[in-house]
Structure 1
Amino acid sequence: MLLTGLNKRCIHTTIPNFKGLFSRIRKAATISESEVEDVPAEPSTGLSRLTIPQLLPELISIPVTKRPLFPSFYKSFSVKDQNVADAIQKTIQKGQPYIGLFLRKTVFKDENAKMEEVLRTRENVEENSALKSETIKTINEVYRFGVLAQVVNVAKTEDATGLHTIIYPRRRIRLCDLTTPVDALVSKARVETLKDEKFDKENGVVKALTNEIYSGLSEIARMNGFFREHIANLQLTANVFDNPAQLADFVAVLVSAEPEELQEVLESLVIEERLRKALVLLKKELVNARLQNSISKDIEQRINQRQREYYLMEQMKSIKKELGLESDGKEKVIENFKEKAKELKMPEQAAKVFNEEISKLNVLEPSGAEFNITRSYIEWLVSLPWGKQKEEILNVAKAGVILDEDHYGLKDVKKRILEFVAVGRLNQGVQGKIICLVGPPGVGKTSIGRSIARALNRDFFRFSVGGLSDVAELKGHRRTYVGAMPGKLIQALKRVQSENPLILIDEVDKLGKGHQGDPASALLEVLDPEQNNSFVDHYLDVPVDLSKVLFVLTANDQSLIPEPLQDRMEIINLSGYVQEEKVEIAKQYLIPKALKESGLSKDEIEFSDSALNDLIRWYCRENGVRSLKKKIEQIFRRAALKKVENSEKIENEKSELLDENVKTEIVPENLKDFIGQPIYTSDRLYETTPPGIVMGLAWTSNGGAAFFVETLIDPSDKPQIQTTGQLGKVMEESVEIAYSFAKSFIASRFPENDFFKKHAIHLHVPEGAMPKDGPSAGITMTSALVSLALNQSINQGIAMTGEITLTGKVLAIGGLKEKTIAAKRAGANTIICPKANLNAWSELPDYIKKDVNIHFVDHFSQVYDIIFNKS
């Protein structure tokens, strides 16, 4: 079949790459069907062109999946069902090798069930056993429009049960009805032949659609070699360019569209409609081809650019290397590491590991992950201060001056530190000592550690272990982990670049413990002078000498520090500050610092002593000075604001009557204008204590505290005692002991008093939201019960502390200094405490003992005589 002149011109103008295809198109008119596709076949099975009858009484009907077939385009087709294969063989032997092929629906209506059944989604259609069947059970299982195909060539499958065939679809047919039952092994159907409606090739719409399809095929062939080759192969089977109807079918065979869209092209008997649907599918394919082509070009361009940059960089490296301007990157890195190592005095084991890692780095490729891991390890190894020490200044006088500059008071602490310096001077160095500063917040524990470092001329490094539960934070991570790094101790040495810094470990009493280990146990090795000379970090995995490091630890509550850790430390207790100490600290340190930070001068603000005393008494009663510092800073900020507002007012009003240099005076009367109303309105809860109420003294992690024990008659027929106030187990036992002894004491001293036999008692310790525990409130509780039983108030201004036994003996307590400070803060001028604490009292500074009348007792009878003026 030859092409018309018009079609030739269209091909030449729109598809320039198709010149070589004309000879193949011409051959297609005479080519034998058996030569189309190289499918193995026996000579006896080769079939020649036959005359197709117009009417077939019965036609073997086979469902196909994924896409329908189109007339005039060869297709390889496999039959796996042996029954169907045998039926095809019989039709070939009869000289009628024809079958009907119909696209199977993925969703169809079963006539028997009378409901729509979704067998499978299209993506998984081949996995459904019902859809794998090569027979048609119901007529609604497939689309009615299909093709009549001639079996051109056959060959048996390897298992000899099925067939490999080449089929040639001849024409469109319509399925009328099935002639076989539902359970038949081979489906046969009655069909009718369909013919395209007549059309005029010269019709303008047909021409336009045809030319648009030519243009699309030309563009898609230029962009994609796969389509170009596919178009060429399909043209061997039919001369499509001379027939618009076959051209539409050609497009449908070429594109990768949805089965339903392809079926619509097959069912279109109006050529103009068929061409339109085919053009839509071609345009969709063209959009995909353009996108793929754009992506391909972009990727190719990027790859070419990277290759170009790589080649240029390699050439530049080679040129520089030849000129001696720069050595290879890896060699330069190794050379730098070796130069750094020469300046260090590495121990033998560390030097051995360094040489091994350098050898390993030498054989690794710089682009590999192992190279960077090894490089990072060596960087840490050469960044440590091996053999580098900062010269210490062991001068007691200078150390004393520095400590006095930074802190007021704390004479016991300063004395202990100066002793420490003196011993270090005699021993030519301070080594193997671990100090632990214990005290309430705000008393200067951290700043004392910094002052010690300055006094000894040591580098200072601080880190907190509060809430720490991961041992790796202290001892590092293993190198096998991604992002591994050494622990805090090795990081400290790298930061300070000396082997003898002062490392302050803050909040050691708040160490956590979790599934990642016990940090407190890890600290045992660090703080043991006999072990820390060969400390091994998990990351470095080489011994590091920490014996030259001076460790200073801080804590609020000594009881929370594990006993093994306490054994390795020297505990120095810091008590809270009394009123006089806070005044001096404010004058010497806090006010000058706040003055400087606020931008004011001494001539612009004056802080009176009375205002300062009121500030401490009514606003800042904590043991430390942190709250006092905040309040003073607030006052100076408010004063600065007033000065600026006054200056702006002068500028705006241009008044000569206003003096810009007005001095701000801080006095008790205007103190509330700067920091608001007082937090405390009284020195204590009770100005005059009624019967059954007594002031006690306690020690907490925040320092000393005064509290009241309240007792009240409970209207109940049963004599008993009830307690409230979140009392701990030890304190509950103290209540029971005090109750038993008070009954015994009243019975012996006042036989006629039957108070405890007739009344129930309620004992309460205020501030119920705060847990309380400890034995030192024994004599306080007993005094409250005796006072209630006698219905007599104790002498005013008395605070007491001491543990009591069942026989009335008063036992020693701890924290006498803190409790004394708390008593003075609460306005108590008389303190009763155990006689066993007499030595501790004698060691207290005079300014703490000043204005305090203290009584030492060893039995409650002495307490009774004091509180009721019986002696």
Structure 2
Amino acid sequence: MLSRQRLPRILATKTPTALTRPRARAFSSVPLSVRPGRQSALRLQTLSRTGSQVSLSNFSSYSPLGKQKDGFFDGQVEPLSEEEMKANLEKAKAKAEAEAEEKGVSEAKLSSSDTPPGNSGQGAPESPDSKGSAAGGAASGSAGDGAGDGGRRGRKPGDRALTKPQVPEIYPQVLAIPIAKRPLFPGFYKAITIRDPDVANAIMEMIKRGQPYVGTFLFKDENADDDIIRSPDEVHDVGVFAQITSAFPIKPGGEGNGITAIVYPHRRIRLSSLIPPGAADASKPGEITEPAPPEPIPKPTEEAAQKGDVVASFEESAVVQKPDAAQKTLSPTSFLKKFPVSLVNVENLTEEPFDPKSPVIRAVTNEIVNVFKEVASMNALFRDQVSTFSMSQSAGNVGGEPAKLADFAAAVSAGEPSELQDVLSSLNVEERLHKALSLLKKEQLNAELQSKITKDVESKITKRQREYWLMEQMKGIRRELGIESDGKEKLVEKFKEKADKLAMPEAVRKVFDDELNKLAHLEPAASEFNVTRNYLDWLTQIPWGLRSAENFGIQNAITVLDEDHYGLKDVKDRILEFIAVGKLRGTVEGKILCFVGPPGVGKTSIGKSIARALNREYYRFSVGGLTDVAEIKGHRRTYVGALPGRVIQALKKCKTENPLILIDEIDKIGRGHQGDPSSALLELLDPEQNSSFLDHYMDVPVDLSKVLFVCTANMTDTIPRPLLDRMEVIRLSGYVADEKMAIAEKYLAPQAQDLAGLKNVDVNLTKEAIEELIKSYCRESGVRNLKKQIEKVYRKSALKIVQDLGEEVLPESEALTDEGKTALEESETKSESSDNSETNQAATEASEKETTEKPRVALKVPDSVHVVIDKENLKDYVGPPIFTSDRLFDVTPPGVIMGLAWTQMGGAAMYIESIVQSSLTSNSRPSLEITGNLKTVMKESTTLAYSFAKSLMAKEFPDNHFLDKAKIHLHVPEGAVQKDGPSAGVTMATSLLSLALDTPVNPTVAMTGELTLTGKVLRIGGLREKTVAARRAGCKMVIFPEDNLSDWLELPENIKEGIEGRPVSWYSEVFDLIFPDLDREKANKSRIREVKKAHDEDTSDNDE
């Protein structure tokens, strides 16, 4: 029976028809997925809005069916009375007869009209029965505006609702369209896009001819994108037989060749064979190539009148046309041979017989229905699709159509393409239901997870909004009652009080007042409020006008500097001069000092001693590897988290305008894409500019002229020249053995003994042991390594004492104080009375906490313990000696000379070796091979020394042709170390001459100096460091350029002690010092002649 409330909707939407009015066509034939203001759906519905409570789109939020909102699966609808049903049938019969009479008129209109294939508004041309597109029509619904199809106006939509299109039962050859991602399922609309122009033209031709049937098959490759099947292996063999209900261009206005087609799958088919594009004509002799359209059957069946559906699908309204003898020879797709498209021969698939009342099928069906309800309750989109499906069923209850229910479950699930294809390929209904249920379960899990995430997010947002609303209400109430203010007034008063205690310059005070006024008018919730507050905080943290009282006592400064450092006379004298000038003037100005020297000589530590001697605050920061200018000049306030530079931070920490700021490792400052920090230091370290230093964050001038800047560096080569020019450089050389001994006895040994816990223990590190450490373990310029070795000695002594005496004489319990014993007893009592339910992990954590918090005192070593470290047992504490001799060569062979080099680590003794590679003959050719990782300058020095040596030999020893014939190899040891510099020319020339004259050189003589081609000895650098290195190597004489005599005279006597300095201007002076007892007659003899004579004697003996 028909439902009373559904009859108007059935009459309005029973059959899809083609509309002729342009306005109606433009709306009804365009799928819902592309209409303005609509969203894409899994399948498109053709419901009319005329007088209907059901939404046109399957995305409708309205879900009730019948009288119950949640009973859309129960089929509980109000039945029609017999009188209403008879009236409806009679009315339908009358309308069908009227349409049959006007058939001739429609055919005439069809033949006279010229409809373009690509017109998106028309869909398919009207068939001879005037019911839209042939065999079912291509239009997707009725406009419901009173306009009839085929040009007939004034008809109501219900007048043509009962005329049913026909779907051929057997359609053996169809146009094949491959699809990707998801297969199509019978009974559910789908919009597909065709971009191949040939396939699009073929589809429009099929619609025009009234044969809009295609076969769709799923690609096996998910990423495939084509409109033609090239091989049967590309697609799955099971697809669907579908009808194109409408088609329209992809681009508005009909531009381009692509179309979007709305298809309605009818049944499952299997691909039996493929006719690829370009194959021979598939039609056989005797086939009729232009089939006549099937005759419609206008008479409705009683079954259709009894259906209570809201939506009439093609499957329900189509009458199956039985094939007869004539139809068996038809080839409806023969006209497609002119299109390069893929055709397939197919066969229909039918479901295996099943018992709808089977307990298994009913149970799985009910479970699917339950899952549908659960998912629909969590997903509004899913609920609309389920509601639309339930209204389109021919049966009153979905349980009567389990096969279609399984197809619907797969159609709405977001499963994998292979899983969906398995459902489509399953002809066993029970198996299909199980697979569909599996897909629905996954959908249910996804919906539950999505629902949980949505609820969590909403709860957090709601909670925050509620807290914010309550806080704002509470602030308002407190403000009205006068109980509490928002704190802004107190903050303003606090800044005013701090500013009144400072002597701000007038320009700074004006900026402060402006910012304070801005803060008073800002809301605390504004982002600018925090920025202004932080700026005012920094502005009032700078010690404007606050200075520490300096100590101008000369004797006090000497005492403090001598307490912390031994030697460093130049540095101490400069600080005393600084104090004396300040005492005479009554005021002091800032200075910029730069200490340059090897590591470990006390550059950084002397800065702290200077601050203590002057009674200034001390602040240190390193710029080694610094690449960001903002670290010096600060960040601009527009950036989030902006801060002032390190200098402003130093003033805030020191709280005085005249601190001592130590800038460490200034020679290792970097440069990057964020600027050049060394250039930023130019303003900071210039006494003429730093009185108005401008930080980017503060943006007000800050006076740094009272600050004493001390910089440290290992070398000046990497410091930019403009920056170096602004600093007063004080060079610190390395320590000699005597200085190291004094430093170790006065500073290093007592500190190491105290750190090892042996302050009151009789541990004696003898002077002989320290001398052995300096001589055999620590030959570097500084004392850092010496400090490490001394600390190692005392640590080993502490370990030995504890191992020998500590465990027996001093039990652990006696190490606790009275408070510690009490805490231990309380912890043990608590441990015994603790609850047994506590876990072992918790008990362990508590025990560890108690053990950590126990107060401890130092262990007292008995007075009977005595440890002596002397030269004999020193290796038991620090291992075997590293250096076993003072020099690399105790006796130097000919060609080996000791040179002196300067490095960042200080001075070093550098040997140069030369040898002859082969015996000399009259046929020998001279050559010079150079090794030792020498760079460009030293290589050029080697070439120059070789040329000079050959020139000197030719002049002084004309009969000695050694250098004219010898193959010489010159090497500088320690090839892993790069070597370069202009001070090895004298040493290299001496090495070559010693080899040529076959005369060794005194091993206690070292030399340095650059040589010109004519023999002039040029000035070099680092004479102090080189002299220290020569003394460490046990040299007795140092030869240096005469231009460096002033440097030699400035050296302390303790450095020059035991060394004879010999300045030279020309190499002839060096030659006389090196070879004082040379036998010139012997040296002038040709070694080549002797070799030749010996060779001739050997030849004559062989002849005899």
Q: TM-score of the superposition, structure 1-length normalised?
A: 0.79
Question: Does structure 1 residue 858 correspond to structure 2 residue 1070?
Answer: no
String of CA shifts for 1:755-779, please: whole Å, max 9, x gaps: 4444454433332333333343344
Contact 1:28–1:236 under 8 Å retained in 2: no
Q: Which residue of 2 aligns with 1:710?
A: 913
Q: Which residue of 1 aligns with 2:333?
A: 180
Q: Within 2, Cα distance between the matches of 1:391 and 1:585? A: 32
Decide which moves more: 192-201 or 843-852: 192-201
Contact 2:183–2:218 under 8 Å retained in 1: no
Unmatched tracts of structure 2, length 5 or more: 4-63, 96-140, 148-153, 195-199, 221-225, 240-248, 251-255, 273-294, 300-310, 324-329, 812-860, 1079-1104
Q: Which residue of 2 aligns with 1:770?
A: 977
Deviation at 1:623, TM superposition (A): 0.8
Question: Does structure 1 residue 847 correspond to structure 2 residue 1005?
Answer: no
String of CA shifts for 1:240-265, please: whole Å, max 9, x gaps: 54573258747865872369888998
Question: Does structure 1 residue 503 correspond to structure 2 residue 661?
Answer: yes
Decide which moves more: 252-261 or 180-189: 180-189
Q: Within 1, Cα distance between the matches of 2:168 and 2:779? A: 112
Contact 1:440–1:556 under 8 Å retained in 2: yes
String of CA shifts for 1:427-450, please: whole Å, max 9, x gaps: 333324110101111100001111
Q: Which residue of 2 aligns with 1:825?
A: 1032
Decide which moves more: 215-224 or 567-576: 215-224
SS in 1 for 2:930: strand
Q: Within 2, Cα distance between the matches of 1:761 and 1:771? A: 22
Structure 1 counterpart of 2:474, from 313, 316, 319: 316
Deviation at 1:802, TM superposition (A): 3.3
String of CA shifts for 1:249-307, please: whole Å, max 9, x gaps: 47865872369888998999998788777766666655555445444444443333333
Question: Does structure 1 residue 256 correspond to structure 2 residue 256?
Answer: no
Q: Within 2, Cα distance between the matches of 1:590 and 1:701? A: 23
Deviation at 1:805, TM superposition (A): 4.0
Decide which moves more: 180-189 or 361-370: 180-189
Amino acid at match of 2:332: T
Q: Within 2, Cα distance between the matches of 1:473 and 1:308? A: 43
Q: Which residue of 1 aligns with 2:217?
A: 105
Q: Which residue of 2 aligns with 1:464?
A: 622
Question: Does structure 1 residue 643 correspond to structure 2 residue 801?
Answer: yes
Structure 1 counterpart of 2:232, from 98, 115, 120: 115
Structure 1 counterpart of 2:1021, from 814, 818, 835: 814
- Aligned pair count reads 828
Pairing 1:723-738 to 2, within 5 Å after superposition: 723-738=930-945
Amino acid at match of 2:218: T
Contact 2:682–2:723 under 8 Å retained in 1: yes
String of CA shifts for 1:789-817, please: whole Å, max 9, x gaps: 43333345222333444444444443333
Question: Does structure 1 residue 444 correspond to structure 2 residue 602?
Answer: yes
Deviation at 1:574, TM superposition (A): 0.7
Q: Within 1, Cα distance between the matches of 2:1070 and 2:442? A: 104
String of CA shifts for 1:150-183, please: whole Å, max 9, x gaps: 999xxxxxxxxxxxx9855416888999623262
Question: Does structure 1 residue 689 correspond to structure 2 residue 892?
Answer: yes
Amino acid at match of 1:858: S
Deviation at 1:703, TM superposition (A): 1.9
Pairing 1:18-33 to 2, within 5 Å after superposition: 18=71, 25-26=78-79
String of CA shifts for 1:448-507, please: whole Å, max 9, x gaps: 111111112222222222233333332234445554433332332333333222111122
Structure 2 counterpart of 1:663, from 846, 859, 866: 866
Decide which moves more: 714-723 or 661-670: 714-723
Decide which moves more: 285-294 or 536-545: 285-294
Question: Does structure 1 residue 394 correspond to structure 2 residue 552?
Answer: yes
Amino acid at match of 2:1021: G
Unmatched tracts of structure 1, length 5 or more: 4-10, 92-98, 153-164
Structure 1 counterpart of 2:876, from 654, 666, 673: 673
Q: Which residue of 1 aligns with 2:400?
A: 245
Question: Does structure 1 residue 493 correspond to structure 2 residue 648?
Answer: no
Decide which moves more: 242-251 or 438-447: 242-251
Contact 1:831–1:854 under 8 Å retained in 2: yes
Q: Which residue of 1 aligns with 2:769?
A: 611
Contact 2:592–2:708 under 8 Å retained in 1: yes
When residues 171 and 720 of structure 1 are mapped into structure 2, their CA distance, relative to the original with a 3 A threshold, is same
Pairing 1:280-291 to 2, within 5 Å after superposition: 286-291=444-449
Contact 1:832–1:854 under 8 Å retained in 2: yes
Amino acid at match of 1:116: D
String of CA shifts for 1:654-680, please: whole Å, max 9, x gaps: xxxx99933111111111111111111
Amino acid at match of 2:767: D
Deviation at 1:686, TM superposition (A): 1.6
Question: Does structure 1 residue 571 correspond to structure 2 residue 732?
Answer: no
Contact 1:802–1:810 under 8 Å retained in 2: yes
Q: Which residue of 1 aligns with 2:316?
A: 170
Contact 1:396–1:421 under 8 Å retained in 2: yes
When residues 611 and 107 of structure 1 are mapped into structure 2, their CA distance, relative to the original with a 3 A threshold, is closer
Pairing 1:509-520 to 2, within 5 Å after superposition: 509-520=667-678
Q: Which residue of 2 aligns with 1:800?
A: 1007
Decide which moves more: 382-391 or 107-116: 107-116
Q: Within 2, Cα distance between the matches of 1:191 and 1:816? A: 104
String of CA shifts for 1:318-377, please: whole Å, max 9, x gaps: 343344443226666666555544444444444444455556656666556555555544
Structure 2 counterpart of 1:420, from 578, 600, 605: 578
Q: Within 1, Cα distance between the matches of 2:349 and 2:1003? A: 123
SS in 1 for 2:1061: strand
- Cα-Cα RMSD: 5.2
Deviation at 1:384, TM superposition (A): 3.1
Amino acid at match of 2:694: V
When residues 851 and 325 of structure 1 are mapped into structure 2, their CA distance, relative to the original with a 3 A threshold, is farther
Pairing 1:45-84 to 2, within 5 Å after superposition: 46=157, 47-50=159-162
Q: Within 2, Cα distance between the matches of 1:564 and 1:472? A: 20
Contact 1:63–1:101 under 8 Å retained in 2: no
Contact 2:174–2:215 under 8 Å retained in 1: no
Deviation at 1:548, TM superposition (A): 1.9
Decide which moves more: 604-613 or 778-787: 778-787
Amino acid at match of 2:695: D
SS in 2 for 1:436: strand
Decide which moves more: 261-270 or 407-416: 261-270
Amino acid at match of 1:709: I
Q: Within 2, Cα distance between the matches of 1:856 and 1:647? A: 61
SS in 2 for 1:558: coil
Decide which moves more: 110-119 or 841-850: 110-119
Decide which moves more: 337-346 or 454-463: 337-346
When residues 291 and 773 of structure 1 are mapped into structure 2, their CA distance, relative to the original with a 3 A threshold, is closer
SS in 1 for 2:683: helix
Q: Within 1, Cα distance between the matches of 2:209 and 2:796? A: 110
Q: Within 2, Cα distance between the matches of 1:78 and 1:763? A: 84
Q: Within 1, Cα distance between the matches of 2:176 and 2:377? A: 36
SS in 1 for 2:709: strand
Contact 1:178–1:188 under 8 Å retained in 2: no
Decide which moves more: 343-352 or 522-531: 343-352
Contact 1:692–1:711 under 8 Å retained in 2: yes
